[in-house]
A and B are shown apart, each in its own frame.
Chain A
Amino acid sequence: MNCRSEVLEVTVEARQVEEAMLALLHTILLHRSSGKFHYKKEGTYSIGTVGTLDIDCDFIDFTFVRVSSEELDRVIRKAVSEFKDALSNSGSDGMGQISLEFYQKKKSRWPFSDECIPWEVWSIKVNVVNLANEQERQICREKVGEKLGEKVINVVEVINRHEYLPKMPTQSEVDNVFDTSLKDVQPYLYKITYQITDSLGTSVSTTMRRLIKDTLALFMQSVTSHMGRTGFPVCNFSKSKHLLFTLKFSSQKTVAPSLKNIRVDICLSAE
């Protein structure tokens, strides 16, 4: 199955970043959260109730609806505020992107960790502007409010296409599909990541980090599949105790000349 990817773009003032992100993320999560599942004996389950809450924005002429769950709100606020801080530290021409990814977990054979397979990714691109005077700010309040309204309509449109959704899981599988850590609602498993683009238009540190992480993940997957295919027995691995791999890659972009060629040494030890 392919991962569905949607991109939303907004242009806001620095002080509106937080609320704009909250509005969009919460709108998406509203649709992607369900009540808590209660499994019953015969393999059936009942679903709890999701409440909703209207939130007025202070810096934007906009009101959005979010799920009535303080825990979830806290988590989202924390992520958004990290994003906001990163954005403001990056410089005045901040451009950044925050991504909300819904994924499923797929159990893998030991010793490799579970795979996270995304099935829907929402990327919200943010462009921060600075405004000179109060009049412009006032206009911006209203304009951003309208824009957010349009984005909400986009979100609703995409979601109502009713495309792929993970199958409803059995009790044992529920943690592979849903985030069951909250006590009042149950959103699909999700993760929020962000990246900041500096004014040169290329992302530096976070991209490199992700590059390494993703490459490693790919590598791990390929090793898994390779081992699976050749039937490399686990015990052999334990005999050797260490596996050392070296990854080399070079960066095409000249932004960070010192990172042009990278060699990554990975040492896997079995305990």
Chain B
Amino acid sequence: MDSGLSPQDKKDLDKFIKFFALKTVQVIVQARLGEKICTRSSSSPTGSDWFNLAIKDIPEVTHEAKKALAGQLPGIGRSMCVEISLKTSEGDSMELETWCLEMNEKCDKDIKVSYTVYNRLSVLLKSLLAITRVTPAYKLSRKQGHDYVILYRIYFGEVQLSGLGEGFQTVRAGVVGTPVGTVTLSCAYRTNLAFMSNRQFERSAPIMGIIVDHFVDPPGSGPRTANMGHPCNYRAPDDDDGGPYAGVQDSQEVCTTSFSTSPPSQLYASRLSYHPQAGAAELGHPIHSVCCKAAPLPPQGLHAGKEHGGVASNPAQPAHGADAHLAAENVANTPGENGGRRRDEQPSPSDPLESLNAFTRKIGAFVNKPNIQTAAGLDLPFAAFAPRGLDSEDSDPMVQPPDSPTCPSPLQASLHSQDSEGSGPQDDFVMVDFRPAFSKDDLLPMDLGTFYREFQNPPQLASLSLHISSQSMADDLDSLPEKLAVYEKNIDEFDAFVDMLQ
């Protein structure tokens, strides 16, 4: 096969392929570190930037790659593979994707090694950069830290795709023909992230708080545990959920409405549950929503976007209320906790996100989301203990403006405008990060945190209480015909106004 290739070319080609393999691994691993990558362009060549691309070399990664290659080069039947997997704080792990650098027999004899092959390899690396941000594992890796971490493993030889579950998809970054074979770079990624949902009924032993400094990462200890730098401090907090009242989408509810234990310990538990990893239990329960009448919710669309299961969404916005939501809510999921809360859930393992969105979008009274009735109902403290009948009509009367769509609209409009700036799952009320600034980070009665929590959820205004609002609704209904008559009378004015706007 090498007959047409001069020794110099052969040497160059081998060198290119070797460094290409090393750079490929760097790109893949760096893309899964959970951080945004930024390198600078330099107009004067430095001589050490292979393929004219500024790709940093993380020494451990190079070391691992060289170890795996053991002096060989990817060849026919000998592929270099980088396996990306996810490991939860409980110790479960799941393969997410496998990147394969393969060589096949199709040779392109006429191609110029030092020039065309080099440039094409460079383009292929750029494609790899682009593609690594597109596969589902990228989003997962950006959110790693608390609940789970992303690990990589490099191996050489036969490609093993069995760990990816059923229905995995493949995407190809590209091919480059060389005189000794065609280099192919592709990725097989898992689409079925369902393993998480099986754990919903388990609670593992509490994990004592461990802080792993992200600058110290043990080099690969064992084939599957080569750690990648954690981008943030990782703390697996206590999993003691005692009797948090649950049903709480809102962690404040945990402390304000719990009855079981004494306040400080309750707070302790609940506070920990804010660190969205309320450890183990959480992972086990990807957002099986307690309250959502989720079925009618938009969901399938959400499903498409993030069928990566609860894990992805759990640490969604670190230090945002959304996390607190999840933490508390998942905490609530532990069975036997409060049967009351589970009344009409429909665990939908395939749509964990839908419930997430149900929660994070649940807010106060004025948003026109009639589907989230139960969620809205839970706004009322102790609502779970209210008679059932009340709950069902509890869907905030303001949420169902009967005929006059204009009624809640000013509020809706203002809420919408708040929403529109946000990104990601939003909450219309300000969610407080429960690590209040300037407060000491200890677990005993913390004044600032307590204060925030207690006053975060003030009692309902009297005017919004059920009796009065239903009365006012009746009044509204009565006055409707009159209002309509007035509007009709002035219809010309309105038309003129509209014309003026156009």
Using Cβ atoms and an 8 Å threshold, which residues of chain A touch B127?
31, 156, 159-160
- B37/A162 in contact, CB under 8 A: no
Q: Which B residues, 326 to 369, have Cβ-Cβ distances below 8 Å to chain A?
A: 357, 361, 368-369
Using Cβ atoms and an 8 Å threshold, which residues of chain B touch A162?
120, 123, 176-177
**B175 interface hit (Cβ, 8 Å):** yes
Q: Which B residues, 395 to 450, have Cβ-Cβ distances below 8 Å to chain A?
A: 416, 419-420, 423-426
Q: Which B residues, 118 to 146, have Cβ-Cβ distances below 8 Å to chain A?
A: 120, 122-124, 126-127, 129-131, 133-134, 138-139, 142
In the complex, A162 Cα to B117 Cα: how many Å?
A: 11
Task: Given A51-B42, A153-B134, A183-B43, decide whether A139 and B298 contact each other with a Cβ distance below 8 A.
Answer: yes
**B39 interface hit (Cβ, 8 Å):** yes
- B52/A35 in contact, CB under 8 A: yes
- B131/A52 in contact, CB under 8 A: no
Task: Given A63-B138, A152-B131, decide whether A48 and B41 contact each other with a Cβ distance below 8 A.
Answer: yes
- A134/B416 in contact, CB under 8 A: yes
In the complex, A168 Cα to B119 Cα: how many Å?
A: 11
- A48/B45 in contact, CB under 8 A: yes
- B43/A142 in contact, CB under 8 A: no
Question: Which of A53, A59, A65, A145 has its CB near the most chain B CB atoms (within 10 A)?
Answer: A65
Task: Given A139-B302, A142-B302, A146-B304, decide whether A69 and B52 contact each other with a Cβ distance below 8 A.
Answer: no
In the complex, A39 Cα to B423 Cα: how many Å?
A: 47
Q: Please name the residue on chain A nearest to B142 by beta carbon.
A: A63
- A49/B45 in contact, CB under 8 A: yes
**A133 interface hit (Cβ, 8 Å):** yes
**B75 interface hit (Cβ, 8 Å):** no
**A30 interface hit (Cβ, 8 Å):** yes
**A77 interface hit (Cβ, 8 Å):** no
Give per-residue flags for A26-43: 1 if the beta carbon is below 8 A from chain B beta carbons, else 0.
010011001110100000
In the complex, A64 Cα to B123 Cα: how many Å?
A: 16
Using Cβ atoms and an 8 Å threshold, which residues of chain A touch B40?
51, 68
**B172 interface hit (Cβ, 8 Å):** yes
Task: Given A136-B298, A183-B43, decide whether A153 and B171 contact each other with a Cβ distance below 8 A.
Answer: yes
Interface bracket on B? 35 or more
**A126 interface hit (Cβ, 8 Å):** no
- B52/A145 in contact, CB under 8 A: no
In the complex, A212 Cα to B41 Cα: how many Å?
A: 40
- A68/B54 in contact, CB under 8 A: yes
- A139/B423 in contact, CB under 8 A: no
In the complex, A135 Cα to B368 Cα: how many Å?
A: 11
Task: Given A139-B305, A160-B123, A162-B120, decide whether A53 and B130 contact each other with a Cβ distance below 8 A.
Answer: no
Give per-residue flags for B160-185: 1 if the beta carbon is below 8 A from chain A beta carbons, else 0.
00000000000111111100000000
Q: What count of chain A residues pass the 8 Å CB interface test?
A: 53
**B36 interface hit (Cβ, 8 Å):** yes
A53 CB, nearest partner CB in chain B, Å: 5
Q: Please name the residue on chain B nearest to A184 by beta carbon.
A: B41
Using Cβ atoms and an 8 Å threshold, which residues of chain B touch A55?
36
- A142/B301 in contact, CB under 8 A: yes
Task: Given A50-B52, A51-B42, decide whether A160 and B174 contact each other with a Cβ distance below 8 A.
Answer: yes
Using Cβ atoms and an 8 Å threshold, which residues of chain B touch A65?
37, 126, 129-130, 133
**B38 interface hit (Cβ, 8 Å):** yes
- A146/B305 in contact, CB under 8 A: yes
Task: Given A30-B126, A50-B54, A138-B302, decide whether A68 and B420 contact each other with a Cβ distance below 8 A.
Answer: no
Q: Which B residues, 151 to 209, have Cβ-Cβ distances below 8 Å to chain A?
A: 171-177
B379 CB, nearest partner CB in chain A, Å: 18
A93 CB, nearest partner CB in chain B, Å: 15
In the complex, A61 Cα to B53 Cα: how many Å?
A: 26
In the complex, A85 Cα to B142 Cα: how many Å?
A: 33
Using Cβ atoms and an 8 Å threshold, which residues of chain A touch B304?
142-143, 146
Contacts A141-B305, A142-B305 given; 13 further ones with Cβ under 8 A? A51-B38, A51-B39, A51-B40, A52-B54, A52-B129, A54-B36, A61-B305, A63-B138, A65-B129, A139-B298, A139-B301, A142-B304, A185-B41
Q: What 7 A-B pairs come out closest when comparing CB atoms?
A: A142-B305, A160-B174, A139-B301, A51-B39, A54-B36, A51-B54, A149-B134
- 21 interchain pairs (CB within 8 A)? A30-B130, A31-B123, A31-B130, A48-B43, A50-B54, A52-B54, A61-B139, A65-B129, A65-B130, A68-B38, A68-B41, A137-B419, A138-B302, A139-B302, A142-B301, A152-B131, A155-B130, A157-B172, A159-B174, A162-B176, A183-B43
Residues on A facing B (Cβ under 8 Å) = 15, 27, 30-31, 34-36, 38, 46-56, 58-59, 61, 63-65, 67-69, 133-139, 141-143, 145-146, 149, 152-153, 155-157, 159-160, 162, 168, 183-185
